[in-house]
Amino acid sequence: MAATPGVETRASGPEPPDEIEAVPVRHYGRWVAAAIVALIAASLIRSAVTNDRFEWNVVGDYLFDSRILDGLRITLELTVLAMLIGIVLGVILALMRLSANPLLSTASWVYIWFFRGTPVLVQILFFYNIAAVYPTIDLGIPLGPSFVHLNATNLITPFFAAMLALGLNEGAYMSEIVRAGIISVDQGQFDAAKAVGMTQGQTMRRVVLPQAMRVIIPPTGNETISMLKYTSLASVIAVHDLLYSAQLIYAVNYKTIQLLIVASIWYLVCTTVLSIGQYYIERHYGRGGPGAESEPLLHRIIRGIVGRRDEVATGDAGPPPPLFSDKR
């Protein structure tokens, strides 16, 4: 590649033309904007470091405090249990909603309407106080005999009320996510599964849901991350979660900001871990589709930090990825 600059190389035969070495356009506007952002960031960091009233050593002291760690454990338990309730309920509600039976689909619609239409904080308070309307809870045949009597005041602990409210509320959102996933699967897939003799259940489990997962997983990941944060609402009914534990400590020592920072750090750690987990689950369910071999995790994290504008929305649209990388 040594065509002398300035000389026309018309007769050079199969030799491809030189690579283009153009002078790039100068993006002065962008540079100014970047400089302003850098300035703001620098001053924020400087003030955080130099402002003694942040008392970072206090943050460090409490970061691994046993009360904080206990609160973190409660927060995680609440997140996992509420999401489990939400996902199971979501699948059931979605299948009901898609049912040919009008009563089932209407019931599902009403449930979603109710739980999406009222604030989750109100629901938490409602379930916490449910003993006021249902002092005992009887389990048995509806309108028939009951077998188990439970005292609602004992049964409905703050944790239980929060778990129930967050889980039932989540079920409404999850059902819409699951439903969107199911209807995203091509009708031909149902035909093909039926044609080889699969029952409805097999068709759902083996063919439809695995494909629906690609549509279901990303928003479910977001829901889980949201749930982790929403559990902090449980602090209003004195569930000893991460936030409430921090509040208990600063109620005594008045280090409010420091303990809120401690809580925030743990929330951030958890949401970051969840995001990484989501990536791997998405990759698992992306098998055989476009984006199945998406970019390495590190790139994604960096992109996640830099900006999400062109994030691959798992599977749909987008240019197909380069072929071949199933090396392992």
Partner 1 sequence: MTEPMVKAHGVRKHFGPLQVLKGINLEVDHKEVVCLIGPSGSGKSTFLRCVNHLEKIDGGRLYVDGELVGYRQENGKVYELREDEIADKRAEIGMVFQRFNLFPHMTALGNVIEAPMRVRGIKKRDAISQGRNLLDRVGLADKIDEYPARLSGGQQQRVAIARALAMEPKLMLFDEVTSALDPELVKEVLDVMRALAREGMTMIVVTHEMIFARDVGDRVVFMDDGVIVEEGPAKQVIENPREERTKQFLGLVLEH
When asked if residue 206 is in the footprint of partner 1 (CB under 8 A), the reply is: yes
When asked if residue 18 is in the footprint of partner 1 (CB under 8 A), the reply is: no
The answer to whether 128 and 156 are in contact (CB under 8 A) is yes
Q: Which is nearer to partner 1, 117 or 288 (CB)?
A: 288
Dihedral pair phi/psi, residue 309, rounded to 5°: -60, -40
Alpha-carbon distance of 283 to 258, in angstroms, equals 38
Alpha-carbon distance of 166 to 185, in angstroms, equals 29
The answer to whether 75 and 231 are in contact (CB under 8 A) is yes
Q: Which among 244, 242, 199, 224 is positioned nearest to 85, based on CA atoms?
A: 224
Site for partner 1 (CB under 8 A): which residue of 22, 103, 141, 195?
195
Site for partner 1 (CB under 8 A): which residue of 99, 105, 184, 189?
189
- Token output for 320: 């197909």
When asked if residue 6 is in the footprint of partner 1 (CB under 8 A), the reply is: no
The residues in 280-319 that bind partner 1, with binding defined as CB under 8 A, are: 285, 287-290, 292
Q: Which residues lie below 8 Å from residue 209, measured CB to CB, with a gap of 6+?
A: 181, 182
Site for partner 1 (CB under 8 A): which residue of 68, 120, 207, 243?
207
Q: Which residues lie below 8 Å from residue 227, measured CB to CB, with a gap of 6+?
A: 79, 82, 83, 86, 166, 170
When asked if residue 192 is in the footprint of partner 1 (CB under 8 A), the reply is: yes
Q: Which is nearer to partner 1, 193 or 270 (CB)?
A: 193
Q: CB of residue 214 vs partner 1: minimum separation in angstroms?
A: 8
Q: CB of residue 14 vs partner 1: minimum separation in angstroms?
A: 29
When asked if residue 191 is in the footprint of partner 1 (CB under 8 A), the reply is: yes
When asked if residue 323 is in the footprint of partner 1 (CB under 8 A), the reply is: yes
Q: Which is nearer to partner 1, 16 or 288 (CB)?
A: 288
Q: What's the longest Cα–Cα distance across the chain?
A: 99
Which residue bears the tokens 């699967």? 185
Q: Which is nearer to partner 1, 186 or 311 (CB)?
A: 186
Chain positions contacting partner 1, by CB under 8 A: 186, 188-189, 191-200, 202, 206-207, 210-211, 285, 287-290, 292, 320, 323
